[in-house]
Structure 1
């Protein structure tokens, strides 16, 4: 039994290293992608700066995602965001911190978001957003070199900084929303040509939309859609459907095109405090492996409602 356990662990390690070596090939250019979320509908500001301040009050959110549980070196992501209208002619401000790690590679994005909202009708508004960000990238080649004699993997990359900018537009009513955005426009190369590899930021194009139906006084239904397009990678399409019961309980499911199926649940602990969880199961060959136990995500969001009753019911988006 000990031999079997060691072999299983060894196979998991080999699988992770092969993936990373493919990404960190010394003669290639790595196209970096933004972190992915199953509960993107509660983390919209991470992909669209036009969302800043749209909830009408100070909103603070935390998210943790562990992807491919059981696989050594698998991705993990943590986000913190806060945003609010500032009470001056439709201006909203936000701050986001996203920490993303896979194997020996970790990167942290610090984002500042600005939005300007214009009423286009009695019920509808359109917001234009700008995002300024700083990316901090760290690659510990030495972790790989512990198990391999490749002398080229000697020099770690520590705290490499690069600035970026993004933009987005966000249209919403009380029942419907849609947005287009590019969180990072500059295709910045993190390393020069003399380095082991060149990691390059690629533009990620997002489209997000959703609608809320009141099926009866105690039941709401919200389908949502997110698409992400980045050069050199397959089109990502996430579709979800959530039901809210008595403005308190949320239950739903999601499908990531050719990638995963997900179950989601949420609960409003109080009028402004939401807890949401999600579990993904891969539909690819990776999902059938014995060492992949799926992906788990939890989100906490608190809205600082200024006056009790300011919201007739919790916002579904």
Structure 2
């Protein structure tokens, strides 16, 4: 019995380290519906007000596993100008972080069919660590200071090249190296985070009059860590129902589905199955996304894309 407890404790500790160093920023399976959190240049690119809400609970059944909630709003406000707001809350173990970012984009024409958008963002992150929620830390250190609070500035930028049926973007969410919760060293609450680089892309193909194929990819690079890539393949039927699958390198495989309930409202769901040894200690990851677009029934959607 004691050996089993030690084994579980070791796995949870390994999980905590993995969550921080392989997943320093929140990750999303339905990134194609949540692009503003990845790239600030996306703001206003759809040509109308768009509101997104996302809830993600990762590695269900494992205490201290990440949970994430995000809210984004973006809209064009003038010719070639877009604005957006992104709010994210993430909890991992005894830590809780809130991200609040304002996004600005400026768009120019790039040929007859495409546009190129440049984006910047600024905001901050509030980090709260409450050691009373955990028990694996050295008690002598734990009771020295139970709660840690930090405010950390955020400055990021991105580029987003897009047409009616394809897009590609590159972004750095934050140029500032900042502190964050450190699971690996109980002597230090916070460690410096490395700069991230995101590459995102997707395209739409017509397979028939009623079926479209929508592959997409998100690549995340952090200096000193393995590259993480999400490869997604979705099929849309009658411009209403989408069904697909995705693969995250060295992490999980996923099933995705979405339904365009009305021209203005879409709901999506994703289930991740862990492919690492952690699959023995959790029942998977669930993610739900809701999207509202302020468009009239008369005009409808500009295209059947979901990006």
Instruction: Map 1:147-158 to 2 at 5 A.
Output: 150-154=139-143, 155-158=145-148
CA distance in 1, matches of 2:65, 2:209: 43
Q: CA RMSD in A?
A: 2.5
Q: Once the 2 structures are TM-superposed, how far is the Cα of residue 14 of structure 1 from its aligned partner?
A: 6.0
Determine if contact 2:83/2:103 at 8 Å carries over to the other structure: yes
Superposition deviation, residue 198 in structure 1: 3.1
SS in 1 for 2:141: coil
Is the CA contact (8 Å cut-off) linking 1:30 and 1:198 kept in structure 2?
no
What is the Cα deviation at residue 7 of structure 1? 9.9
Kept in 1: contact 2:263–2:300 (CA 8 A): no
Return the offset for 1:190. Answer: 5.6
Is the aligned partner of 1:225 residue 2:214?
no
Which deviates more from structure 2 when the two are superposed, residues 303-312 or residues 32-41?
303-312
1:16 matches 2:12: yes
Counterpart position of 1:305: 295
Tell me, in whole angstroms, the C-alpha distance in 2 between the residues paired with 1:48 and 1:245.
28
Cα distance, 1:114–1:217 mapped onto 2, change above 3 Å? same
* Matching residue within 189, 192, 203 for 2:179: 189
1:62–1:79 Cα contact (<8 Å) kept = yes
Provide, for residues 13-36 of structure 1, a one-character-per-residue CA deviation record: whole Å limited to 9, x for no partner.
Answer: 66435644x589xxxx97971111
Classify 1:160/1:149 alpha carbon distance in 2 versus 1 (closer, same or farther; 3 Å). closer
State the partner residue of 1:52.
43
Query: Any idea what SS the aligned residue of 1:308 has?
Result: coil
Unaligned runs of at least 5 residues, structure 2: 182-186
Distance 1:212 1:19, change over 3 A: closer
Contiguous gaps of at least 5 residues in structure 1? none
Say whether 1:118 aligns with 2:100. Answer: no
- Which residue does the alignment assign to 2:191? 199
When residues 313 and 177 of structure 1 are mapped into structure 2, their CA distance, relative to the original with a 3 A threshold, is closer
Is the 1:240–1:255 Cα contact (8 Å) retained in structure 2?
yes
Which string of whole-angstrom CA distances, capped at 9 and with x for unpartnered residues, describes residues 94-133 of structure 1? 0010111111011110010000000112210000000102
Q: What is the alpha-carbon distance in structure 2 between the residues aligned to residue 139 and residue 253 of structure 1?
A: 35
Pair 1:9–1:101, CA change in 2 (3 A): farther
For the Cα contact (< 8 Å) 2:105–2:120, is it kept in 1? yes
- Counterpart secondary structure, 2:111: coil
Q: Distance in 2 between matches of 1:176 and 1:161?
A: 37
- In structure 2, what is the Cα distance between the partners aligned to 1:283 and 1:205? 24
Report the equivalent of 1:94. Answer: 84
55-64 vs 224-233, greater mean Cα deviation: 224-233
Q: How far is the alpha carbon of 1:164 from its aligned partner?
A: 1.4
Whether 1:175 aligns to 2:165 is yes
| Aligned match of 1:241 | 233
Q: CA deviation at 1:89?
A: 2.3
User: Alpha-carbon deviations, 1:228-256, whole Å to 9, x = none?
Assistant: 00123221010000010001000000011
Partner of 1:259: 251
Measure the CA separation in 2 of the matches of 1:315 and 1:182. 25
SS of the residue corresponding to residue 33 of structure 1 reads coil
Residues 312 and 136 (structure 1 numbering): CA distance in 2 closer, same or farther, change over 3 Å? closer
Q: Can you list the C-alpha shifts for 1:151-184, whole angstroms capped at 9, x where unaligned?
A: 0122134431111100000000111100000011
Over 3 Å counting, the alpha-carbon distance change for 1:17 and 1:142 in structure 2 is farther
2:86 aligns to what SS in structure 1?
strand
